Amino acid sequence: MLCLFTGAHGTRILFACFCFIISISIPGILQTAAAAEKEPVRFTVSMDSTAAHTFHVTVKYKPEAADSIFFKIPDWTPGYYQLMDYAGGVRNFSAKSEKGKKLAWHRAGKTGWTVGRKDARIVILDYDVVTTRKFVATSYLDDEHGYITPAGIFMYVSGKIDLPAEVTIRPNKAWQNVATGLDSAAGKKFVYTASNFDILYDSPILAGNLEELPRFYVKGIPHRFIGYKLGNFDKIKFMADVQKIVEKSSALIGDLPYKHYTFIAIGPGQGGIEHLNSTTISFSGEQLSSRGWDGMMGFIAHEYFHHYNVKRIRPVELGPFDYDRGSKTNMLWVSEGLTVYYEPIILKECGLLTTQQMLEKYRQQIFNIENKPGRLYQTLAQASAETWSDGPFGRTGDAVNKTISYYQKGPVIGLLFDFAIRHETRNKKSLDDVMRALYNDFYKAKNRGFTEQELRQTFEKVAGKPLDELFSYIYTTNVPDYKKYFAYAGLQIETSAALRDGKEGEKPFTITPMASPDALQQKIFTSWSRSSPQ
């Protein structure tokens, strides 16, 4: 996914953060008894061919009775809503039995290989994966590090996503470290396990001579930050701020649903992918100026909060996945937009933003969406569903004025929902209660995502009344009644356009406090902003 936030002085900063939205409808990270009884698919990944940027992969699979086995590789990484053609990087495919006898095979469609079993008890595959692009959604190998996006490296047996997996990493001989969110196999160096392939595909791997910063614990759970080419910066302060983000985010939801968490810094660049118990982020400490520091903290807050919102609080379409065709949903405004919405709130609670800076971030989002012609053509729900063709920030070229971004409009609608719920409940409830309800009622209680109807029912149950007008802003191009909703929090917003040379120009959407807010308005603003009114 693409994370969008505003730096100092209103500078727009983009991070291409591709959310690896992996299915959690099946049992989670902990190994289940059923999975433990199954023979794992065993992978060995070698990283010797650094000059050729090529991983070598060996697969050992003990099949059930069958004449042939259909192996596949995903065609996309959930969270990055474009087909990636990972199969195009596969070279030198071969198959043999445990006795070394060659097995016949043929290509089966764009992403598949059918292997004849004969009398093999164990089917062994060997193949290379050639990497050409340093990018958060693609694997890459060079003479300094190896980064594995699992969907582009590990084949699965068609129809057997629920099989456990074991991964052995053989780093280049000059490298000392491997970082991943996978569980380590007891007593085995660089050997990792996953209870199913959804978890495997949700667990990137970084190898190299890595640096680990001082770890911290929240509720007794270890959190690590480890990476490649971290650079020079105040590492103690950095980790203190990251710890605050984890503490405030987890306090908002009220649960830490993992047994360890790893921040994996993949080197200089742009982008990040969040996962069930880890996140990969492009990172360089050399870029942490004052503005860069603020931007990085926002980036980390965004990625970390996604392990709740997207990974566990998720639309029903976003898992289990079709790894061939991808998954469309009308609700990326929830998964992405509300994560953008909570980013400034988390930073404010951490003491990393002022109230005015927080307001400015939301003003900038409103400014961006309301001054974009596409707001008149595409609804928020359509922007979510059509991201496969439009891209997360809308189309480019001649069609740029006909689309919008759910990263921009989603947080705006989230803000209006928050103000409305606080107003209707006299500040006894908020959007926070909606997020907790979605987490507890669907992820915790039912281990699944929610439908559009269930989402609306949850919002309205928390608010205690229908929210027809607000939901109309999702499914129509109607302009939100900003003045009404901002007034609930004792705020005024200027929606008139400025005149330039006698013509209407951009609308500034200036936000200011009311001169004489009533008691409820003051209470809502104080609670929402996590501070006293300014």
Q: Which of 423, 460, 405 is nearest to 438 (CA)?
A: 460
With the C-alpha atoms ordered 505, 507, 508, 510, is the resulting torsion angle positive or negative? positive
Both tokens of 36, joined, read: 């433990």
The CATH number given to whatever domain includes residue 211 is 2.60.40.3650
Q: Is there a domain that residue 109 lies in? A: yes
What confidence score (pLDDT) does residue 238 get? 98
CB 258 within 8 A of CB 277: yes
- If one counts every other C-beta atom within 10 angstroms of the C-beta of residue 92, the result is 11
Q: Is there a domain that residue 242 lies in? A: yes
For residue 365, the 8-state DSSP code is H
Which of 249, 279, 313 terminates a domain? The answer is 313
CB 248 within 8 A of CB 349: yes
What confidence score (pLDDT) does residue 398 get? 62
CB 70 within 8 A of CB 112: yes
For residue 494, the 8-state DSSP code is -
Low-confidence ranges of the chain (pLDDT < 70): 1-36, 390-398, 498-505, 532-534
Q: How many CA atoms lie within 13 A of 422 on its CB side?
A: 26
Examine the domain organization and report whether 288 and 393 are in the same domain: no
What confidence score (pLDDT) does residue 500 get? 53
CA distance 487 to 467: 17
Measured at the alpha carbon of residue 253, what is the angle toward residues 326 and 527, in degrees to the nearest 5? 120
- Strand 112-116 to 177-180 pairing: unpaired
Both tokens of 388, joined, read: 């496969």
Q: Is there a domain that residue 201 lies in? A: yes
Q: Is there a domain that residue 121 lies in? A: yes
CA distance 477 to 439: 29
Examine the domain organization and report whether 426 and 447 are in the same domain: yes
Examine the domain organization and report whether 176 and 283 are in the same domain: yes
List, as one string, the DSSP characters of 397-442: GGGGGG---HHHHHHHHHHHHHHHHHHHTTTS--HHHHHHHHIIII
Both tokens of 78, joined, read: 């959930």
What confidence score (pLDDT) does residue 6 get? 37
Examine the domain organization and report whether 306 and 344 are in the same domain: no
What confidence score (pLDDT) does residue 312 get? 97
CA distance 12 to 373: 19
List, as one string, the DSSP characters of 35-65: HHHSPPEEEEEEEEETTTTEEEEEEEE---S
Examine the domain organization and report whether 304 and 370 are in the same domain: no
CB 57 within 8 A of CB 126: yes
Examine the domain organization and report whether 105 and 95 are in the same domain: yes
What confidence score (pLDDT) does residue 77 get? 81
State residue 452 phi and psi, 5-degree precision.
-60, -40
Measured at the alpha carbon of residue 59, what is the angle toward residues 54 and 64, in degrees to the nearest 5? 155
Which of 444, 462, 479 terminates a domain? The answer is 479
Give the type of residue at 89. Answer: G
Examine the domain organization and report whether 323 and 378 are in the same domain: yes
144: containing domain: 1-313
Examine the domain organization and report whether 309 and 435 are in the same domain: no
- If one counts every other C-beta atom within 10 angstroms of the C-beta of residue 479, the result is 11
- If one counts every other C-beta atom within 10 angstroms of the C-beta of residue 64, the result is 9
Examine the domain organization and report whether 94 and 241 are in the same domain: yes
Examine the domain organization and report whether 318 and 306 are in the same domain: no
What confidence score (pLDDT) does residue 504 get? 60
Q: Where are the beta strands (DSSP E) in 219-310?
A: 221-227, 261-265, 272-274, 278-281
> How would you classify residue 108: left for phi > 0, otherwise alpha for psi between -120 and 50, otherwise beta?
beta
Examine the domain organization and report whether 28 and 165 are in the same domain: yes
What confidence score (pLDDT) does residue 466 get? 99
